[in-house]
Structure 1
Amino acid sequence: MTETSQPAVDRSRDISQPLDRLGPDETLKATSDQLRGTIALGLLDEITGSVTPEDNKLMKFHGIYMQDDRDIRDERRRQKLEPAYTFMIRVRMPGGVCSPAQWLKLDELARAYGGDTIRLTTRQTVQFHWVLKENLRPTIQKLHEALLDSIAACGDVPRGVMCSVDPRLSRLHAQVYEAASRTSAHAIPNQRAYHEIWYGEERVASSEPEEPFFGKQYLPRKFKMGFVIPPSNDIDVYTQDLGFIAIARDGELEGFNVSIGGGMGRTDQAPETYPRLADVVGFIPADKVLAATDAVMSVQRDYGDRTNRAHARFKYTIDDKGLAWIKAEIERRMGFAFEPARPFAFRSNGDAFGWVEGEDGRWHHTLFIENGRVIDQGEKRLMTGLREIARVHQGAFRLTPNQNLCVSDVAPEDRSKIDALLAEYGLIETRSALRLNSIACVALPTCALAMAESERYLPTLIDKIEAILDARGLRDEPITIRMSGCPNGCSRPYVAEIGLSGRAPGKYNLYLGGGFHGQRLNKMHLENVGEQTILETLDEIIGRYAAERSAGERFGDFAIRAGYVPEVTEGRFFNA
């Protein structure tokens, strides 16, 4: 795909605002010297494993979060020691595409600095946890050797751009991935601070603005984008701030329906916060993607709330201003109007596991990686197996939005070689449909926001729910279940048919009624309950579902029809 015209939005506009009108985080950004802060100086401090709170916030724009081991936090406090600080590094990986050589570098870094494990995220990238402060520079520099970086993987900027993983549609998938990759390269902020701090490059003096589009304050909050190829909604496009829904004819990309205003985050004790699904506002030709991206981002840049971070996501800007006003302003900035949205249909938001053949005759094998945790455990030597596959594989790895991994673009004559390695390292297994449709965030022990377990607990909970399903003959019935350790919704729990968000150790909110392919929010059924209540409740509902469901009726649809929860038609009614 080639852009035939320049984006209509002026990318050199200065949008800085007076400091006395900004919230604390906005003031920090505005006075940070374009995200430099005192990060470089803090890295030299050998007395502590941490950095200052201000630099911790700025380092998020560099794709880095400071964390500590919460399993031993209390014990270290009793010993009058500082927390066991480490850092998480998130890699920027548009569309989740990774070469075997890059995977081998990720594997090497994980074994050297990341606790012998890799974490696949719900946004199709890799996170390293357990990285010590003194190992941050070596890790980032070695990523650079593999043409990888962590720029803008976190922070108030456009985050990593997602793209459907359906290589069966070979030609169309290539076209859409190219659009996603191009958009990622276009939207990423100019970040000289990253090159200076982590690569040791010299600062270059210039009279021009260092970041002409985002200014000194960048965006009010994070901004998420994704490209999806119907009939699979694997990226959960309605949860994105900006989504592009591919419209094709005879396998050729014509353009995209554009959706705006999705977002999962909320706060339990703040009913004015809520998840929201994006609205489809119209169609654009394929060569107008960058113009639309700039226009949408600039509207949020200029009108997003910079005084209250809990109200700063694009979804609130849309609800405050009104969808019609926002759409008209986007069209004004693009210089053309949206065409009417074109028909499309989604059927699921899960992954297709095992071998599938693409239109071009090449093969693709998707592996289930529970909660995205790549690690050697017992007979299942996942990390070692993927390393050995990467050493012989001639295609690509594609990380899916559901925390799984696709060994992609395998020549027919190479399938037996991959199969032998999958078997040797214990990577061929049978799982229930519920488990295959599960997602969990990292949560404890590393995430500072976690209120309850998620990644470490969901597999055990699923064991017990599987027993309920087995008793009703529903083991092969696909039901989406997602768990987050806090209300922020990194695992996209509020569109799951069964959603759980942590409230306290061992306590969760239980949500029901999400759409099977991500088209509907769910609704809280029980608040702040433990495992026994969750299992008793699901036992009753699953029992009724088995006995009373209509032909083809999904579990989320049944939960609404049976009266367990009302249908949520709009994010603003999620907490009603």
Structure 2
Amino acid sequence: MDIERPLSANEGLKERSNFLRGTIANGLTRVESGALADDDTQLTKFHGFYQQDDRDLRAERGKQRMEKAFSFMVRMRVPAGILTPRQWLKVEKLALERGNGTIRLTTRETVQFHGVLKGNLQPLMQGLHEDLLDTIAACGDVNRNVIATVAPWERAHHATIATLARDLSQHLLPKTRAWHEIWIGEEKISGGVVEDEPILGRTYLPRKFKIAIALPPYNDIDVFAHDLGFIAIVQRGRIVGYNVVAGGGMGMTHGESETYPRAGTVIGFCKPQDVIDTAEKIVTVQRDHGDRSNRKHARLKYTIDDMGLERFVALVNERLAVKLAPARPFAFASTGDRTGWTQEADGTSHFTLFVENGRIRGTMLEGLHAIAALDTGRFIMTPNQNLVIADIPPAQRPQVEALLAAYGLEKPLSGLRRNAMACVALPTCGLALAESERYLPDLITRLETELERFGLSQDDITIRMTGCPNGCARPYLSEIALVGRTPGLYNLYLGGAHEGIRLNKLHRRDVDGDAIVAALSPLFGSYATERRPGEHFGDYVIRAGIVAETTAGLDFHANLSHEAGA
């Protein structure tokens, strides 16, 4: 007989929150502190922001008996990552007036505002609302921002999946009006109206839930990294349906082998008209069967591995109006972005701007302001932290080219740098154990020197760095990954697939910058001389026996090499 386990503290908090209201509104009026109450800091995640403090300043402020340097990270909800030029200009204005003057593009095709003080939260939310933007459900135990492949040159297909991303986001959005009441001043729900959350439930989901839509051959969104993925199947020039991928997730905890990343599993195929119902029913299975006692074990990947894939699929099919059909063939080529110019037959152009680790500031911010002021095309944020200036008419391309040149925004890149990603990490992320965004560019410079020695400077190799094992930059699917253990030390993983279909494997523990370069340089050398035609670095290190292949999430911690400390 199963033993009833106590619910996690967060479950009680959600139950008592009055549909995510808590005492947030009251806390905003308390000027004696830059922080919110502890319980409210959990609820504000559902409103799209996290409370943080500047960890670089903690020690000094502590000595002076001062409160921590609190601020907030605010994340927008932008399904498919698409903004109009006017919306981009509003984002820039709010970043300058209400944040720390930078725009941070994320791996979920959206914007994070950093350094937002408590008194600036409401003006920022209201500013977004004025231009049809919001932060609802960008964080918290709900379905997060729905992302989709960025391929505007595939005009009809991109429009289809972008529309699907918006429809999925809207359908799975919390129904509570708490966000509108607290931030926009909407009139409170009257006592006679009964609120409900028919899909998410009164205590919402056990943990966060992420959805991604891929358009082969592009796997820029890393479809196997998410709780739920849809892979568009194109036949005779139209999308005839989607393969369904379930149970992906990147997070784990150092030293706890019962936690692990997992690549999603293809569980079937659905027609376009059945996608919304399929997503809803998978969400409800996770709602009803996910672990609400142990938050480290609460993602859909663990639900599936605990009950078994066959039972999970059976539960989903029981709830579906149209059961899943057998999956259809598909193939991916890469996970990276097509940087630089792409032109369509009618002369419409798209420019993908490389944004190192997604941080936009200074000259780049000014240059993008000038381009947005042309009021042409769209600004599309990519899941690789870059920005596509899309749908540029032939007559305006010379103006955009001139502005890119004037602000120095079109620069040559090595294959490693253009395929690099890092999470924010220090100084603001409370989970960070080591540097990431601030350190990876310098490390890549060192590695570029080694790659150039072996004639590999233009070879596309994916590298990702995170300051902790939670995996926000999707490190466990990359060919090279560095995951922070403690300041200055990282675990080195190798062997992810270039096209994002396979997890990597731990190669070395607790390596610093010198040790990272020393470990990778000879591998670059042997790869240059021993690789087979078309063979990617991640495939080579497995074939050469450098690391074992990871075939499933449960296999992630198995078959480690002696060098990894197995």
Report the TM-score range of the alignment, normalised by the length of the smaller protein: over 0.9
Q: Are positions 1:483 and 2:468 aligned together?
A: no
C-alpha deviations, 1:445-467, integer Å up to 9, x for none? 11000000000000000000000
Is residue 251 of structure 2 the alignment partner of residue 265 of structure 1?
yes
Match of 1:317 in 2: 303
Query: Kindly tell me: are residues 325 and 528 of structure 1, through their superposed partners in 2, closer, same or farther at Cα, counting changes over 3 Å?
Result: same
**Equivalent residue number for residue 225 of structure 2:** 239
**What amino acid is aligned across from residue 206 of structure 2 in structure 1?**
P
Which runs of structure 2 are paired with 1:537-576 in the superposition (5 Å)?
537-576=519-558
- TM alignment of 1:161-176, pairs within 5 A: 161-176=146-161
Match of 1:133 in 2: 118
The AA in structure 1 aligned to 2:64 is Q
Structure 1 segments (4+ residues) deviating >4 Å: none
- Which runs of no fewer than 5 residues in structure 1 stay unpaired? 1-18
Q: Distance in 1 between matches of 2:235 and 2:539?
A: 31
Tell me, yes or no, if the aligned pair for 2:176 and 2:195 is still in contact at 8 Å: no
Q: Give how far 1:251 is off.
A: 2.2
Q: Contact conserved, 2:5 with 2:293, CA < 8 A, in 1?
A: no
Partner Cα separation in structure 2 for residue 552 and residue 341 of structure 1: 27
Identity %: 53
Paired residue for 2:422?
A: 440
**Mapping of 1:515-534 within 5 angstroms?**
515-534=497-516
The AA in structure 2 aligned to 1:132 is: L
Using CA pairs below 8 Å that are at least 6 residues apart, which structure has the higher relative contact order? 1
**What is the Cα deviation at residue 361 of structure 1?**
4.2
1:432-455, Cα deviation, whole Å (9 max, x unpaired): 010000000000111000000000
Asked if the contact 2:172–2:200 (Cα under 8 Å) also holds between the matched residues in 1, the reply is no
Aligned ranges 1:229-378 → 2 under 5 Å: 229-358=215-344, 361-376=347-362
8 Å contact from structure 1 (residues 443, 450) kept in 2: yes
Measure, in 2, the Cα distance between the counterparts of 1:560 and 1:213. 43
Q: Which residue of 2 aligns with 1:385?
A: 367
Distance in 1 between residues matched to 2:5 and 2:133, nearest whole Å: 38
Report the 3-state secondary structure (helix = DSSP H, G, I; strand = E; otherwise coil) of the residue aligned with 2:468. coil
Q: In the alignment, residue 435 of structure 2 is paired with which amino acid? A: E
- 1:263-312 CA distance string (max 9 Å, x none): 00000021100000011111111110111011100000000000000000
1:213 corresponds to: 199
After TM superposition, the score normalised by the length of structure 2 is 0.97
Give 1:544 shift.
Answer: 1.1
Checking the alignment, whether the CA contact within 8 Å between 1:165 and 1:234 is kept in structure 2 is yes
- Pick which of 393-402 and 482-491 moved more: 393-402
Letter in 2 for 1:170: R
Which residue identity lines up with residue 466 of structure 1 in the other structure?
E
- Do the aligned residues in 2 keep the contact of 1:393 with 1:410 (CA within 8 Å)? no
In structure 1, the residue matched to 2:72 is 87
Distance 1:302 1:360 in 2: 50
Residue 78 (structure 1) aligns with: 63
The CA deviation string for residues 319-359 of structure 1, in whole angstroms up to 9 with x for no partner, is 00111111111111012221111111000010001111236
Aligned to 2:288, what secondary structure does the other structure show?
Answer: helix
CA contact (8 A) 1:497 1:513 kept: yes
Secondary structure of 2:416's aligned partner: helix
User: Which residue of 2 is the match for residue 11 of structure 1?
Assistant: none
The 5-angstrom pairing of residues 185-200 of structure 1 reads 185-200=170-185
Deviations 1:99-118 (A, max 9, x none): 00000000000111111100
3-state SS of 1:537 partner = helix
Q: Secondary structure at the residue paired with 1:525?
A: strand
Amino acid at match of 1:553: E
The residue number in structure 2 matching 1:181 is 166
Structure 2 unpaired stretches of 5+? 559-566
Task: Count residues with an aligned counterpart.
Answer: 554
Q: 1:209: how far off? A: 3.1
Instruction: Report what 2:22 is aligned to.
Output: 37
Q: Is the CA contact 2:274–2:322 (under 8 Å) kept in the aligned structure 1?
A: no
Q: Are 1:496 and 2:465 counterparts?
A: no
Deviation of the 1:360 alpha carbon: 5.5
Matches within 5 A, 1:418-437: 418-437=400-419
Task: Give yes or no for contact 1:382–1:425 (8 Å, CA) kept in 2.
Answer: yes
Taking the aligned partners of 2:176 and 2:451, their CA distance within structure 1 comes to 50
Determine if contact 1:170/1:359 at 8 Å carries over to the other structure. no
Q: Distance in 2 between matches of 1:297 and 1:286?
A: 18
Larger displacement relative to structure 2 (237-246 or 169-178): 169-178
Secondary structure of 1:397's counterpart equals strand
Distance 1:122 1:200 in 2: 31
Q: Which residue in 2 is equivalent to 1:401?
A: 383
Deviation of residue 210 (structure 1)?
3.0
Measured on the aligned residues, the alpha-carbon RMSD in Å equals 1.1
- CA contact under 8 A between 2:247 and 2:304: conserved in structure 1? yes
Q: Distance in 2 between matches of 1:144 and 1:176?
A: 24
Distance in 1 (alpha carbons) for counterparts of 2:37 and 2:24: 8
Residue 5 of structure 1: aligned partner: none
